[in-house]
Structure 1
């Protein structure tokens, strides 16, 4: 019997890469090479305990990438915009992995991509943390590389941190998310791993495709109602406009433009997502499991 093929998973100690690495390890079809900048992190130790090969590499370091990608069948790549907030640097990181993967003959690369919003909107909307990933997708296509792009929607987990309900002066809580009544796709980042596993098992079906992911499509008012039901708190949609949201805090302008792009309803396919990962949770199911995380102000 042939030895299992190896998948190199970037960001293995993070949200996306961790989800992918765990799904692959639990399934057992592939060997996992967990790529990390910090092999001493507790998340990495858990992956090692479960059988992953741990390799230290840095997306800015070409030699380390060559060593990390030698003799692998496939790759899961997530790039690192939020670690340095530099779109051009992110694009260069993605291009390095694309070039090295092509040189080494990697057979299938699954990339955590997003749309090039600036290009799609003729410059009207500029969302760097989307646009860089869009440019990386385009570069893979130019190379003719065997790539599948998975495009995540907003994480449900963001409701626990960056978009958590805020206590208002009226005693209730509000979701300050400027979707202006338009439904917004969402998904738990923990469910990405099952999607990527299915894609890697069926390369002939998914190579060359961009797959928009979602497990729910709700208005902010509907998200708030489900949160209220599960937490016992009164949570409402603040109904803030995108224009007013831009004035909220430094950096709000980029987020506002992201939500304006979401209002254009980019392609996110709930049915396909659930086919790829039948265990992926709706927001109702996710809230039922995570309601206690909302109980502390």
Structure 2
């Protein structure tokens, strides 16, 4: 389908359209048989992804989504019927900034009078663990924004992103080559620890589109994405596909933190994985049924089949 320019079509404002989540949402809506006008927000309108979307009919708006730029952010939301919002903790590693910017996006959407505000949230691992795992600031921050959005009165659907499939390759602290040419995948949790893996770029937008289009969802819904699979199964399948010998190794907390090579960041990662093992990524909540989605999302095996996995082994 092509993006509609008809003023009667709903205007969807997408935060971070050049990112993995925002781009996935844009592609999912473009694939829909329903008409949408799409306005994509990005700091850099000259990024290749922004230019590609613009060529497809997306209105690209360059705007910095910071609290001190709130007036311009509100202008970018003008006329929106639906808004999708996400924040990027890794850009600044500041929990309070994450919360402030998330709340600013909620306030902006409410001021615009949107009929549906879709927030990319996460669970609070600190709350799930009774304060034991309190270092994972981005999980806790996103949950605080979730509660703020619910309390604000803006019609809200929370679409949580599962564990990024790409994390397996972007975690050099975990996948380590051994002197004999084999690999060890070391984590601070048992091999049977499950996470809801998702190919975010390919599939996250399906869940957002379902929140918009499926009458079983919409305002008030929480849509949890991904497919549960254990770290042991992840490693076993990766070993088969890559034709590499990879062994899962359960590390104690201190050994894992040392393996990360990041004394400040390592404890946060360990808290996160340990919380997953004890409380679950979603705290026991059910993942959205695939029947609610416009198409079937990729499994871990599907993701590997579409990925040049050999490029990640050196």
Query: Which consecutive unaligned segments of at least 5 residues does structure 1 have?
Result: none
Question: Contact 1:7/1:75 (CA < 8 Å) preserved in 2?
Answer: yes
1:172 to 175, 182, 185: 182
Which of 297, 300, 307 lines up with 1:283 in the alignment? 300
- 1: CA distance between counterparts of 2:171 and 2:305? 20
Structure 1 counterpart of 2:209: 197
Render the CA deviation track for 1:58-103: whole Å, top value 9, x for unaligned: 2211012111100010111111211011010011001111112112
CA shift digits 1:147-204 (9 cap, x unpaired): 1111122111112222563212342112223231322221110200111112111367
Are 1:230 and 2:234 counterparts? no
Normalised by the size of structure 2, how large is the TM-score?
Answer: 0.88
Supply the RMSD in Å over aligned alpha carbons.
2.0
Q: What is the TM-score normalised by the length of structure 1?
A: 0.93
Aligned pair in 2 of structure 1 residues 184, 178: CA closer, same or farther (>3 Å)?
Answer: farther
Residues 246/268 of structure 1: CA separation in 2 closer, same or farther (3 Å cut):
farther
Question: 1:78 matched to which residue of 2?
Answer: 86
Q: Which runs of 5+ in 2 are unaligned?
A: 1-5
Structure 2 equivalent of residue 48 of structure 1: 54
1:209-220 → structure 2 map (5 Å cutoff) = 209-215=221-227, 217-220=228-231
Aligned-residue offset at 1:294: 3.9
2:117 corresponds, among 109, 123, 140, to 109
- CA spacing shift, 1:274–1:156, aligned 2, 3 Å: farther
**SS of structure 2 residue aligned to 1:246:** helix
- Counterpart of 1:146 in structure 2 is 155
Helix, strand or coil: the match of 1:247? helix
Distance 1:203 1:64, change over 3 A: farther
Matching of residue 29 in structure 1 with residue 40 in structure 2: no
d(CA) in 1 for partners of 2:109 and 2:287? Answer: 30
2:157–2:221 Cα contact (<8 Å) kept: yes
Distance in 2 separating the partners of 1:220 and 1:9: 32
Please give the alpha-carbon distance, in whole angstroms, between the structure 2 residues aligned to 1:43 and 1:81.
21
Alignment of 1:117-156 (within 5 A): 117-126=125-134, 127-156=136-165
Counterpart Cα distance in 1 of 2:242 and 2:127: 41
- Cα offset, 1:144, TM superposition: 2.0
Shift of 1:26: 2.6
CA distance in 1, matches of 2:194, 2:153: 35
Equivalent position to 2:256, from 232, 245, 250: 245
